[in-house]
Structure 1
Amino acid sequence: MNELVVAAKQTSNAPAPEGIGGKARNLLRLNKLDLNVPPFVVIPSQWFEDLCGPEQRDAQGVPIFEQIQLPVGATQQILAQFEGFKGYFAVRSSYKEEDAAGHSYAGQFKSRLFVPPAELGAAILDVWSSSLSAHVAAYQASLDLEQHFFLSVIVQEMVDAEVSGVAFSMNPLTGHRHQQVVNAVFGLGEGLVSGDLEADQYLITKGQIERKLVHKTHAYRFHAGEKGGLIKQTIDTELATAPTLSNAQLRQVVTLVEQVKVQFGRHQDIEFAFKGDTLYLLQARPVTAFHHQPDIAGHYIVWDNSNIIESYPGITAPLTFSYIIRLYEKAYRQFVALMGVSPKAIERNAEDFAHMLGFLNGRIYYNLRSWYKMISMLPGYSFNARFMEQMMGVKE
């Protein structure tokens, strides 16, 4: 049986062990950098594969979850690595290709928060079994990815956060490589990750801060009596309009995301939490939704007519263009609304919908930045962007 991988003992310059997945590998690397990652252990995928003999698999070799149990003493072995810790645990997945630069697997696998020690074994199996789900298989098929049945599991000390958020070392929506973006909510980050809560947003460009504060009504907080340990609570009136992050906290977060970017050598998306004045780094992954977007820090626009020239060959009159551009604006505003994008989000991007096309020297062009911006509002950016490029012929 494979041994547990313990982050606190991974202090040498040796490479991370094989078979622990992208998220765990990143955590081990972050832990070595002394960036205040909550203590954790990783249970490698091979450890789970060892549990599945022929009698625990179907005719195709797929594990049968209901017939799998942790070995006697396994939970106690895991808990022994957290000597002196009296709190709850977070149990998360770490898949072979999860959090990779090309596909993040975001939201595909289960996570369990505020798991008490007595329920740790069941939570570990529950998270591990999510690799067998139908929606994971569909996700892999949509991206032509190889299907694997074994993922690793991370067990980590749970941080009962007062403020949680995500930070990007660049703006993934606009492509601005020199603008950090920080989104934060009061309480735990579940409401932010799920999209249930609106978040304060901070845009930091060369040290200049633009604050987009929202009226906050609720926060997710720990409640021992609730299933999953979380409860959605109404926040105090005085917090409704208060900024989630002080200037000092914001500087800490920006410094942290830049540190991670430098260490990994590419733009990063991090999850963070504050408890009191202490900043915790929960995880980091590459930003995956920007590689097709131009860097708008240079203030340029990319025009392309590879496809639209088939509809409007030759010279187009200004009157015709004024009609076409309005049709595109209305059609694609309605399209994203039909796909579930909120009216507020559509209005925030009104300028992009109004400039889907351009008119240069009597010819019509696509404004590619607006098209990528629209695609980024929808789920499955990487897949949709490739489809759009194929349709437009922009790779040719």
Structure 2
Amino acid sequence: MFTHVYFSAFRISGTEAAMTVEVHWLGTPQTHRADVVGGKVANLSRLAERQPVPPGFCVFGHSSEELATEFAADGITSAYRELAARQEQNEPAVAVRSSAVDEDGEHTSFAGLNETYLNVVGEKAVVDAVRACVASFRSERALAYRSKWGLDAPDQFAVLVQQLVTADVAGVAFSVDPVTHSGSTVVVNSSWGLGESIVGGTVTPDTYRVDRASWDVTERRIADKARMTVPAPAGVRELPVPRQLRSTETLSDAQVVRTARLAVQLEEQMGWPADVEFAWSAERLYLLQCRPVTALHTSEEAGSTAGGRTA
């Protein structure tokens, strides 16, 4: 199994400070610990062997300084090359996402506060995106959110680099209804393209409700989906949905039920109501994120099922 560990040092205001930056793959013991790599990575890592999680690796360290990633460039590059070899691609497109240690917890989500970069291609671009994610941990917005919840400034960082799924349809599923709190219903939101239009709240997605006892689709609300996010050179862009697709269902009943079953499986595996980001590509279902349904504890994210979720 590919692993890189780096030890280096830098000088801050005349004081020598030791740093450790490590790179490890999802599915390995080093990426199972939420107190080291954050909930986002730890959850996916623990699920990687049994669920359809795209391959990826985590860059993490124990310094509050963004400069720490200067010493991890070789490790990031080597891991990206290994990912390319596994995917049999020269320069695979990846998603680069933050995974703060106290992110995606039972009460705090850091929704939209730390940076995410999609469709990142090439060694230099991946290294730059990781550095930008690390810098976002100490952004004004992130620090203000930490202060609100009584959390200290971060003294460690973790960033996930993962194969990008070029989604035909993407969305969010909840193993319980996050608005009514009903444990008998699974809610699935979906829209065309990558999930960022739902995440950013710029599109109202289709909404399906599935009965957990019978697995029947008990309700469907097909939205007028005006916008979609698609890969573009050096990133992604949001485009108008073709008119003939705007009011067309994004998922078949079979896909809705398969997605709902995944959400319930994840609840059973993780031991808490699951908030799941998923993607369908070429008739295959992928798990992109799994975290607790924080809307059960706070009304701030109750708009999730109306397309207002950010993460």
Both proteins in one fold, TM over 0.5: yes
The two structures have a TM-score, normalised by structure 1, of 0.65
The two structures have a TM-score, normalised by structure 2, of 0.82
Cα displacement (A) at 1:377: 4.8
Give the Cα separation in 1 of the matches to 2:34 and 2:143.
Answer: 26
CA 219–377 in structure 1, closer or farther in 2 if over 3 Å, else same: closer
User: What does residue 234 of structure 1 align with?
Assistant: 240
CA 68–89 in structure 1, closer or farther in 2 if over 3 Å, else same: closer
Please give the secondary structure, in 1, of the residue aligned with 2:238: strand
Give the Cα separation in 2 of the matches to 1:14 and 1:94.
Answer: 11
The code of the aligned residue for 1:76 comes to: T
Cα displacement (A) at 1:375: 8.8
Please give the secondary structure, in 1, of the residue aligned with 2:245: helix
Which residue, 254, 262, 268 being the options, matches 2:268? 262
Please give the secondary structure, in 1, of the residue aligned with 2:160: strand
Give the Cα separation in 2 of the matches to 1:113 and 1:229.
Answer: 6
User: What does residue 112 of structure 1 align with?
Assistant: 117
Which residue, 10, 17, 39 being the options, matches 2:55? 39
Cα displacement (A) at 1:13: 12
Quote the sequence identity (%): 30
Give the Cα separation in 1 of the matches to 2:30 and 2:138.
Answer: 34
The code of the aligned residue for 1:136 comes to: A
User: What does residue 250 of structure 1 align with?
Assistant: 256
- Summarize deviations over 1:209-250 as a string: whole Å, max 9, x none: 2001112222111122xxx52122222232122101011111
Flag the structure with higher helix content. Answer: 1
Give the Cα separation in 2 of the matches to 1:67 and 1:95.
Answer: 15
Q: Which has the higher contact order (CA 8 A, sep 6+)?
A: 2
Say what the alpha-carbon RMSD is for the aligned residues: 2.4
**Is the 2:35–2:101 contact (alpha carbons within 8 Å) kept by the matching residues of 1?**
no
CA 241–291 in structure 1, closer or farther in 2 if over 3 Å, else same: same
Please give the secondary structure, in 1, of the residue aligned with 2:172: strand
Please give the secondary structure, in 2, of the residue aligned with 1:44: strand
CA 375–197 in structure 1, closer or farther in 2 if over 3 Å, else same: closer
Which residue, 197, 211, 216 being the options, matches 1:208? 216
Which residue, 155, 158, 161 being the options, matches 2:161? 155
- Summarize deviations over 1:36-74 as a string: whole Å, max 9, x none: 10001011223xx3xxxxxxxxxxxx63x4796245523
| Larger displacement relative to structure 2 (78-87 or 263-272) | 78-87
Q: What are the residue-to-residue correspondences of 1:135-214 with 2, within 5 Å? A: 135-205=141-211, 206=213, 207-209=215-217, 210-214=219-223
**Is the 1:166–1:184 contact (alpha carbons within 8 Å) kept by the matching residues of 2?**
yes
Q: Is 2:100 the counterpart of 1:95?
A: yes
CA 134–247 in structure 1, closer or farther in 2 if over 3 Å, else same: same
- Summarize deviations over 1:178-236 as a string: whole Å, max 9, x none: 11110000001110000001100001124332001112222111122xxx521222222
Q: Is 2:139 the counterpart of 1:126?
A: no
CA 272–376 in structure 1, closer or farther in 2 if over 3 Å, else same: closer
User: What does residue 29 of structure 1 align with?
Assistant: 46
**Is the 1:131–1:150 contact (alpha carbons within 8 Å) kept by the matching residues of 2?**
no
Q: Is 2:24 the counterpart of 1:5?
A: yes
Q: Which runs of 4+ in 1 moved over 3 A?
A: 12-18, 65-68, 374-378
Gaps of at least 5 residues in structure 1 are: 50-61, 293-371, 379-396
**Is the 1:131–1:149 contact (alpha carbons within 8 Å) kept by the matching residues of 2?**
no
Count of residues in correspondence between the two structures: 277
